[in-house]
Chain A
Amino acid sequence: MSASDVELDRSLVQPWVPLTSLVLSVLGLGVSVYLTIEHFTASTTLACPETGALNCLKVTTSEQSAVLGIPVAVLGLVYFVVMLVASLPILWRSGHPAIRYGRLAMAAIGVLFVFYLVFSELFTLEAICLWCTAVHVLAVALFALTAIGTAYADPSDL
């Protein structure tokens, strides 16, 4: 085998990562849009769920449903819009550190916020909102994917 037969891997990310992260971001954005609409309109449903532990209304109308006056649903919406843009394949192919580490930092912030929200649901509110849980799962999956995708290559090596 000659030296010219040895190809160096110059890809910045695994091929399946950009599309998967894009799909997760779109799903997260969809659920966030629903929760945001619910936040501003659904309080007109004056009813309780039949089971006390699964109680979206309790979660989405609690003190913890807003941070500095901004509804958490809106923060989630903004987060997934940013992640959607950052997950575009063209940006995954960019070696610019601000894009690569900015995306990773954003994903990490999302997970830290999910820690706070899950803690609030389990220990402060003692109620679970399934729609919120879907968003939490998507945010954690996005973080995992972003971490794996970012770790795949170091642009300075290429």
Chain B
Amino acid sequence: MSKRQRDSREYARRMKLIQERATARRGRLRVAYSAIGAVLLVFAVMIVVKLGSGAGGGGTAPSALPTGAAAAEIIQGVTTVPAATLDAVGKGGAQVLPSPITGQPALTDGGKPLILYVGAEYCPFCAAQRWPVVVALSRFGTFTNLGLTTSAADDSYPNTPTLSFHGSSYTSQYIAFQGVETTTNVRKNGQYEPLDKLTDAQAQILQKYNAPPYVPQESAGSIPFMDFANKAVLAGATYSPELLESHTHAEVVAAIKDPNSQLGRAINGNANALTALICRITGAQPADVCSSTAVKAFQGEFTNVGQ
């Protein structure tokens, strides 16, 4: 066999080998692409099923609420906590306080310092925070039409018992209060149903002050958010909803009346902190509230909060 023939045979052998390997590679890659396609298909099916079920689904229903006289008794209990009980608690379980801010234009409504609360009924942290807010504000004025609700049944700390500012109003000779609940605690099409709409002014406050440097980066944009007349802000709850777990509304009110209970100390202690802050804003008015032992417990705090 000549060299030319040998070379030609070797050339043919190599070309055949290349073709065989190319065919085998195409086969292997086909399997790989099929596997990738199958993975993407699984995700697509999950998303389509989710969107399909969401269109008719209403989510998990929250637990039943007290009504009639039982509801009225709960509202009465939380809005009329005896001063002696609050004095006995003092600082209680208050550890997280609103952060003072300086150099901002005064936030007012009708000539009175405005306290703005933005939350949502689904939110368990808002649920926890409403109790001390209502206890504190009830020392400066009167709520009407406060509602009872729970946090969402399908969120963390499900069914946390709480109050709702939706549809309520507040009158005080010292301060103004606006409570906004942006959503209900029930889902529709996968989202909690909208409830109160922020006014333009409220949205601007939220956009400016619910962000660094006024609140920590990790809390920015979160709820509950509170603005205390542009003198202090609070993003997040001041105690954990875990304390309210498995409690009914009536049990929470009973705990509030007991200065020795852990829950009562948490709620009343945080209410006293808010009361002390609001006293700085109102210029220590009303005098009986702002000179109370409960407020004096926070004497060293909020010293840089001006009127």
> In the bound complex, do residue A3 and residue B11 qualify as a contact, i.e. CB atoms below 8 Å apart?
yes
> In the bound complex, do residue A46 and residue B191 qualify as a contact, i.e. CB atoms below 8 Å apart?
no
> In the bound complex, do residue B125 and residue A1 qualify as a contact, i.e. CB atoms below 8 Å apart?
no
Report chain A residues within 8 Å CB of B126. Answer: 48
Q: Using A47-B219, A126-B59 as known contacts, say yes or no to A2 and B237 having CB atoms under 8 A apart.
A: no
Report chain B residues within 8 Å CB of A80. Answer: none
The answer to the question of A101 belonging to the interface, with a C-beta cut-off of 8 Å to chain B, is no
Q: How many A-B residue pairs have CB under 8 A?
A: 121
Q: Which of A23-31, A49-57, A70-78, A86-94 contacts B (4 or more CB under 8 A)?
A: A49-57
- For window 35-84 of A, CB contacts with B under 8 Å fall at 42, 45-53, 55, 57-58, 61-62
CA distance A153 to B120 in the complex (A): 57
The answer to the question of A105 belonging to the interface, with a C-beta cut-off of 8 Å to chain B, is no
CA distance A57 to B218 in the complex (A): 12
> In the bound complex, do residue B222 and residue A47 qualify as a contact, i.e. CB atoms below 8 Å apart?
yes
> In the bound complex, do residue B11 and residue A52 qualify as a contact, i.e. CB atoms below 8 Å apart?
no
> In the bound complex, do residue B155 and residue A52 qualify as a contact, i.e. CB atoms below 8 Å apart?
yes
Bin chain B's interface residue count: 35 or more
Bin chain A's interface residue count: 35 or more
Report chain B residues within 8 Å CB of A153. Answer: 25
Q: Mark B198-221, 1 if CB is under 8 A from A, else 0.
A: 000000000000000000001101
The answer to the question of B28 belonging to the interface, with a C-beta cut-off of 8 Å to chain A, is yes
The answer to the question of B75 belonging to the interface, with a C-beta cut-off of 8 Å to chain A, is no
CA distance A122 to B50 in the complex (A): 7
The answer to the question of B84 belonging to the interface, with a C-beta cut-off of 8 Å to chain A, is no
> In the bound complex, do residue A58 and residue B25 qualify as a contact, i.e. CB atoms below 8 Å apart?
no
- For window 131-156 of A, CB contacts with B under 8 Å fall at 140, 143-144, 147-148, 150-154
Residue from A3, A8, A52, A55 having most chain B Cβ neighbours under 10 A: A52
Report chain B residues within 8 Å CB of A58. Answer: 155-156
CA distance A46 to B40 in the complex (A): 36
For B37, the closest partner residue in chain A by CB is A144
The answer to the question of B176 belonging to the interface, with a C-beta cut-off of 8 Å to chain A, is no
Report chain B residues within 8 Å CB of A126. Answer: 59, 154, 187, 190
> In the bound complex, do residue A52 and residue B120 qualify as a contact, i.e. CB atoms below 8 Å apart?
yes
Q: What would 10 more interface pairs be, CB under 8 Å, given A3-B7, A123-B50?
A: A3-B8, A46-B96, A47-B125, A47-B219, A49-B222, A52-B123, A61-B156, A111-B39, A118-B43, A157-B24
Point out residues on B near A: beta carbons under 8 Å.
7-8, 10-11, 13-15, 17-18, 21, 24-25, 28-29, 31-33, 35-36, 39-40, 42-43, 46-47, 50, 59, 96, 120, 122-126, 128, 152, 154-156, 182-183, 187, 190-192, 218-219, 221-224, 235-241
